[in-house]
Amino acid sequence: MVEASDVVKFLGQGAGRVQALRGVSLSLSGGELVMLMGPSGSGKTTLLSVLGCMLSPTMGSVRVCGRSTAGLAPEQLTQLRRDHIGFVFQSYHLFPTLTAMDNVRLALDVRGDYSRRVIDRAKEALATVGLSHKPRSYPLELSSGEQQRVAIARAIIGDPTAILADEPTAALDSENGHAVMSILAAIARQGTRGVLVVTHDPRILPFADRIIHIEDGRIVRKAGNGGSSAKP
Amino acid sequence: MPSGGTTPVLLIGSGRGDFGLQPWNIVAGDLSDLSIPDAVAVDRSYFDRLGTAGLGDTVEIRDLRARIRLVTQGIRSFTTTPYVFTPLDRARTYAGISPNKATYLLVRLQAGANAESVRTRLNESLAKAEALTPDAFRSRSRSFWLFGTGAGAALFAGALLGMIVGVIIVAQTLYASTKEFSNEFATLRAIGSSSQYIYTVIIIQAFLSAAVGFGIAAAIGMVIVKATADSALPVLIPPGLMAGLFLLTVAMCVFSAIAAIVHIMRTDPAVVFTR
């Protein structure tokens, strides 16, 4: 589904050039929820950006649904992202002037889908995250947990094959964090989508099928659902 | 003038026959009153300029008495110099021109005559005069004022300056607006919106700016048109000009959107992970 092989990524230029990723390999399959953990500056966000086709690897390869990102122009990467990846951000990044329904519909709008089914699909996505009763609420009228759930609805409405979530519970209290992770786990359990969650939050580790630890741009440990760990 | 001052006027003397250039839009007096000795016709919009109260008032043209016997409305010159109509012979007297001199001769053709061939024949037979059709005369007058005098240059310079200032202001406004919402644009890019989608969003913003700005300007323009309708220098905004200005405004605003588009397209969508 999403696969990275020996990915190396340099960021910056000249004296400020740093190696953010040093030969990272990982794969995300449908039906699993993988957590990516590591300290600040370990390369988590860079890896998420590379897997999400926002950055191209300096070396190594990334394949999304079997298609290599090597040599793709920015517009082609955007299309790959649009067709296959859904994002959930730590700060939600909802549009404050749009209702929950319109925020969700936006993901279809950028896909050029203006059909009559858009509203039904948006309602369905909001129902999936338990917000079918608040379609007309604006982000500022929603709690943090509800805003993140709207963001998840926006991520899934385009029917992506992978969902990449960056610290989705970092700004949430325990109860809301649990609710958000329950939704992401349920999405993964449907079997067709893989979910990769970048997190610092140990409270949500029980939701993971696999946990990957990254430090200094390298994967240092992979652990399965039972907690058994292995060197990569 | 009654106040003792003087002001230049454009004296139009024409033959009394049916074919001469007679004043039109008469609002006071009768055309036949021009045959009364010393009679002249002026437009009511120039009363203040001429220092006169209107019909029946007496003025002087080059120390010769003239009485306003006819008042028109809407006969105004581009230069705001008042037109004064009077019979041809009296105009020659006021202007001190000999009786066999004329500045322009108006030639009216019989129905069915070919204006172009008449013009050609007149030009061939007249050594010291030039025959022009109304369109050619109009075009030459327009060219003279636009390109042969400082008025045209000032007009074009003013319009150009307005366009440059407009483009800069709209560009700055759009740039500031898109910069303010750069998070939202980065989010749009992150969730997969194409460049074309972003262009469309910004250009719609530019179009809305153009529409709102033009709407306000058009409303002010219409107020000015109404306010100057009876003045010596009326402002005219015909529908064609209005449509042209709207298209120009839209083009300016869309052009102004380029800076905003460049800014957004240079924004790394990955910034959504760090904000």
CATH number of A29-42+81-230: 3.40.50.300
Place of tokens 């292995």: A230
Which of the four pLDDT bands, split at 50, 70 and 90, describes residue A101? very high
Which of B197, B270, B273 is opposite residue A110, by nearest beta carbon? Answer: B197
**Contact by Cβ (8 Å): A134, A123:** no
Tens of pLDDT, residues B105-160? 888 888 888 888 998 999 899 888 889 988 889 999 888 888 888 888 888 889 89
Which of the four pLDDT bands, split at 50, 70 and 90, describes residue A226? low
Where in the sequence is the domain holding B141, given as residue range(s)?
112-148
pLDDT at A28 over 90: yes
Do B23 and B93 reside in the same domain of the chain? yes
Angle at A106 between CA A100 and CA A112, to 5 degrees: 155
Which of the four pLDDT bands, split at 50, 70 and 90, describes residue A152? very high
pLDDT at B248 over 80: yes
Do B130 and B99 reside in the same domain of the chain? no
In this structure, how many other beta carbons lie within 10 angstroms of the beta carbon of residue B187? Answer: 26
Per CB-CB distance under 8 Å, the chain A contacts of B270 are 45, 49, 54-55
- Bridge pairing between strands A2-11 and A18-28: antiparallel
Distance CA A28, CA A47 (A): 13
Per CB-CB distance under 8 Å, the chain A contacts of B193 are 78, 82, 110
Per CB-CB distance under 8 Å, the chain A contacts of B184 are 93, 95
Of residues B170 and B191, more confidence is placed in B191
**The pLDDT of residue B185:** 87
**The pLDDT of residue B255:** 84
- Bridge pairing between strands A33-37 and A194-199: parallel
Cα–Cα distances in angstroms (integers) from residue B271 to residues A56, A83, A108, A166, B186, in the given order: 15, 21, 22, 12, 7
Do B160 and B265 reside in the same domain of the chain? yes
Contact A82 B193 (CB under 8 A): yes
Which of A75, A87, A95 is opposite residue B194, by nearest beta carbon? Answer: A75
Contact A45 B184 (CB under 8 A): no
pLDDT at A227 over 60: no
Per CB-CB distance under 8 Å, the chain B contacts of A79 are 192, 194
Do B144 and B159 reside in the same domain of the chain? no
Contacts of B269 by beta carbon, 8 Å cutoff, 6+ apart:
A54, B186, B189, B190
**The pLDDT of residue B71:** 92
Contacts of A91 by beta carbon, 8 Å cutoff, 6+ apart:
A171, B272, B275
Tens of pLDDT, residues A37-52? 999 889 999 999 999 9
**The pLDDT of residue B18:** 61
Per CB-CB distance under 8 Å, the chain A contacts of B269 are 54
pLDDT at A83 over 70: yes
CB pairs under 8 A between A and B: 64
Tens of pLDDT, residues A161-189? 999 999 999 888 888 999 999 999 999 99
In a domain, B4, yes or no: no
Distance CA A34, CA A172 (A): 20
In a domain, B263, yes or no: yes
Contact A54 B275 (CB under 8 A): no
pTM, 2 dp: 0.71
Number of structural domains (chain B) is 3
Do B33 and B95 reside in the same domain of the chain? yes
Do B142 and B130 reside in the same domain of the chain? yes
In a domain, B155, yes or no: yes
Chain A residues within 8 Å of chain B (Cβ atoms): 45, 48-49, 52, 54-55, 75, 78-79, 81-83, 85-87, 89-91, 93, 95, 106-107, 110-112, 154, 158, 166
In a domain, B259, yes or no: yes
Which of the four pLDDT bands, split at 50, 70 and 90, describes residue B99? confident
Contact B268 A75 (CB under 8 A): no
What percentage of chain B reaches a pLDDT higher than 70?
97
With 0-12 / 13-18 / 19 or more C-beta atoms within 10 angstroms meaning exposed / middle / buried, residue A9 is: buried
Do B154 and B249 reside in the same domain of the chain? yes
Which of the four pLDDT bands, split at 50, 70 and 90, describes residue B17? low
Chain B residues within 8 Å of chain A (Cβ atoms): 183-184, 187-195, 197, 268-270, 272-275
Contact B195 A78 (CB under 8 A): yes
In a domain, B1, yes or no: no
Do B79 and B174 reside in the same domain of the chain? no
Helix, strand, coil % (nearest 5) of chain A?
A: 35, 25, 35
pLDDT at A139 over 90: yes
Phi and psi of A14, rounded to 5°?
Answer: 60, -135
Do B90 and B141 reside in the same domain of the chain? no
pLDDT at A229 over 80: no
DSSP assignment of B54-95: STT-EEEETTEEEEEEEEESS---TT-PPEEEEEHHHHHHHH
- Bridge pairing between strands A59-64 and B10-14: unpaired
Let me know how long chain A is: 232
Distance CA B47, CA B62 (A): 18
Do B179 and B260 reside in the same domain of the chain? yes
Contact A54 B274 (CB under 8 A): no
Place of tokens 């007249």: B126
Q: What is the mean pLDDT of chain B?
A: 86
In a domain, B2, yes or no: no
Helix (H, G, I), strand (E, B) or coil at A25: strand
Do B163 and B68 reside in the same domain of the chain? no
Do B156 and B246 reside in the same domain of the chain? yes
Contact B194 A79 (CB under 8 A): yes
pLDDT at A140 over 50: yes
